[in-house]
Amino acid sequence: MAYDKSIVAFEEAYKVIPGGVDSPVRAFSGVEGTPPFIEKGEGGYLFDIDGNRYIDYVQSWGPLIFGHCDAE
């Protein structure tokens, strides 16, 4: 998987958001790596700004019933 765009986005976010993410619990400084920056959701999938596709296992916050971006 490529993360080039997410790396750049994380570096920019780190300048203005403490830890570079929206929660100190999810700060990546303790686990290493770069968080993916999600661009869109579609059905049961999320896509990051690098074009990588992920299965959304945490759909319990809204799209659980219909998925993301339901065509209907």
**Ranges of each domain in the chain:** 4-61
pLDDT of 37 > 80? The answer is: yes
Alpha carbon distance 14, 72 (integer Å): 38
Greater pLDDT, 41 or 28: 41
Report the predicted TM-score, pTM, of the whole model to 2 decimal places: 0.71
Alpha carbon distance 8, 22 (integer Å): 17
Query: What would the pLDDT profile of 19-29 be if each residue is shown by its tens digit?
Result: 777 666 666 66
pLDDT of 11 > 70? The answer is: yes
Burial 30-49 (b: 16+ CB within 10 A, else e): eeeeebbbeeebeeeebbbb
pLDDT at 62 (0 to 100): 59
